[in-house]
Amino acid sequence: MHFSFSVMASEQQLSAIKGSKVLMVGAGGIGCELLKTLALSGFPDIHIIDMDTIEVSNLNRQFLFRQSHVGQSKAKVARDAVLKFRPDINITPYHANVKDPDFNTARRHVNRLCLAAGVPLVESGTTGFLGQVTVHVKGRTECYECQPKPAPKTYPVCTITSTPSKFVHCVVWAKDLLFAKLFGDRNQENDLNVHSKDGSSSSKQAEDVFERQKEENIEQYGKRIYDHVFGYNIELALSNEETWRNRNKPRPIYVKDVFSSELASQNGNLDKSSNGDPPSLSAMASLGLKNPQDLWTLKENSKVFLEALKLFFSKREKEIGNLSFDKDDQLAVEFVTAAANIRASSFGIPLHSLFEAKGIAGNIVHAVATTNAVIAGLIVIEAIKVLQHDIKNYRMTYCLEHPSRKMLLMPVEPFEPNKSCYVCSETPLDLEINTHCSKLRDVVDKIVKAKLGMNFPLIMHGSALLYEVGDDLEEDEVANYAANLEKVLSELPSPVTGGTILTVEDLQQELKCSINIKHREEFDEEKEPDGMILSGWTQPRAAEKNGKTAVDSEVSTSSASEAVPLETEDDDDLQIIPTITGKKRKLSDISNETKNKRKAEELDSKNDVVMLDDENSDMSKKKREQ
């Protein structure tokens, strides 16, 4: 016997639901719960889009999936599972990419499409016990981009390379510097010291110690790398006595210090780990280590380090030079864990298990199925309000880990659109730039695409078209616009100088904004590395105290200038920005003029709703209390 929403719903609610069409973006943790709740609530026409396939790690909470579904499309399997108990509804799956693997970019894209189409957006996210549901309706509530989103947590390079004080610093060093240097693109800039202590001559000094010598076998190479990064580089750091005046000195660690003379060339048993596809190779299996939650000793970490390096060069040699860290790559996680622990041991930092290190390296916050279910229910509640045009009762609702005012669910009245939002309010932006040095390509790559998130930009100066992309362009037009990209702004056919107003438009997103150009001669290379400053867009907010990066309990911040980011992947943090000071204007306080304008923008009879959800997403939302 299945639950029937019709028992509790009013006729008005049922009528709104029956005439609706829903697009659900994401069929993961929240998506499974949401699809089930939508189906049981009587929604007759549901479309699901998700580019992901099912992984084993999804099965503990994404209940529509089973072991036999691993590797299959999430959207298609979710549809089939729900139709078994609700065969009378229409569910259309799309195994497709809504925009980009970076889901935060996808959110901006969906937000803009909803604004262009006048379709309400119900957006949500969870991280562990935390979650939120937000309603975005064009002209009535703020859009997804009305408020700034925190940047991923970053760490200064000097801390990572020279003075780590936390285990996360060691993980970032092992993942973004050492792993990248050994297995990634070696031509890419890297802050690891590559010169050995034997480089007495200028020619030897120029040699890269990470290059494997012709006469070296894998074991010899591994030990040499070990001695260089954990021994010689630490000695080199100790030579700067000023650095350690008020810090505990690290100790250099060499292979001979960890292993007795009986260490043979065989570190592990290669045969034990050689079965299966490359990502299934395991140094732990080769060494007989079974429990990922065990704390390895320095000796065990050293064995894992050497064995993992040996496996990469013997079993995955073709991938060397093109690898990047992947938290689902067992061998990569083992290598990074071992390297981070050896470095932590050198600096007197407590060691961590592989399970803990993987969570840090992948920036994983472990999901809670109950939170997903609660959030899915709140999404449907808000969707029904939207379908009934019940704007007075719209709520942004936050799911808290600990009670606040004796409540675990905190509803907050939505906020009106931000008048300075260039996306939904079309507020002009200001761009400070040296128009005599910067090229149009710089503006397109660093501003229009990177900051404004436009996919198919069109740039105009008055009636002059400076740049356009599209499949329908003639060959001479493509060549002309390509030539413009390489021209300095002031030398374009229609020169761009101080006081120029550029119109930038993305026809796909139906987004248009104006950029006021302000000529500026010089920029600080460290603080302003782009050589230009854009004002008026919702850039990430950095919280600082006493000149140092501060981290609130739920706020991700970025440090200044040169830094190494702890990147977020599939399982990102939900960040809640503290209350923004200033007088809050409720929707009920909006002027009559604004109300009259909104009347002309009433939702049409199609009753379309887009539901954007992502478990463990990088969705920065404001926790603002009434």
Tell me the catalytic residues: 158
Angle at 567 (CA atoms; ends 563, 573), nearest 5 degrees: 120
How many Å apart are CA 33 and CA 367, to the nearest integer? Answer: 13
Q: Write the DSSP symbol of residue 230.
A: I
Q: Are 512 and 505 in contact (CB under 8 A)?
A: yes
Residue 61 marked as a ligand binder: yes
Report yes or no: 342 and 349 within 8 Å, Cβ to Cβ. Answer: no
Please check if 71 is assigned to a binding site.
no
SS3 content of the chain, % helix, strand, coil (to 5): 35, 15, 50
Could you tell me which residues are beta bridge partners of residue 122? 135, 611
Under a CB-based contact definition with an 8 Å cutoff, are residues 518 and 432 in contact?
A: yes
Q: What is the DSSP string of 375-390?
A: HHHHHHHHHHHHHTT-
What is the token pair recorded at 136? 């975005």
Residue 146 assigned to a binding site: yes
CB 439 within 8 A of CB 532: no
> From CA 66, how far away is CA 131, in angstroms rounded?
25
Residue type (1 letter), 54: I
Q: Is 421 annotated as a binding residue?
A: yes
| 373 labelled binding-site residue | no
How far, in Å, CA of 238 to CA of 178, rounded? 20
170 is in an annotated binding site: no
Nearest to 97 by CA among 54, 53, 34: 53
Query: DSSP string spanning 511-563?
Result: EEEEEEEEE-S---TTT-TTSEEEESS-PPP--EETTEE---TT-----SSSE
Say whether 437 counts as a known binding-site residue: no
26 labelled binding-site residue = yes
Assigned token pair, 288: 């007989």
Element (H, E) at 174: none
Is 501 within any annotated ligand binding site?
Answer: no
Residue 502 CA, distance from chain mean position: 30
CA distance 219 to 388: 69
Evaluate whether 189 touches 170 at the Cβ level (below 8 Å).
Answer: no
Half-sphere exposure at residue 422, Cβ-oriented, CA atoms within 13 angstroms: 25
With contact defined as beta carbons under 8 Å apart, do 330 and 281 qualify? yes
- Say whether 153 counts as a known binding-site residue: no
How far CA 239 is from CA of 202, 235, 344, in Å, comes to 21, 6, 19
74 is in an annotated binding site: yes
Residue 600 is labelled as binding a ligand: no
Count of CB atoms within 10 A of residue 247's CB?
A: 11
Name every residue whose Cβ is closer than 8 Å to that of residue 584 and which is 6 or more positions away in sequence. Answer: 415, 624, 626
Is 487 labelled a binding residue?
Answer: no
Sequence-ordered list of residues with C-beta below 8 angstroms from that of 521, at least 6 positions apart, any chain: 434
Asked whether the beta carbons of 216 and 603 are under 8 A apart, the reply is no
- 276 has binding-site annotation: no
204-212 long-range contacts, CB within 8 A, separation 24+: 210/181, 210/182, 210/186, 212/313
Q: Which positions make up the binding site? A: 26-31, 50, 58-61, 74, 143, 146, 421, 424
Q: Which positions make up the binding site for ATP? A: 26-31, 50, 58-61, 74
Q: Which positions make up the binding site for Zn(2+)? A: 143, 146, 421, 424
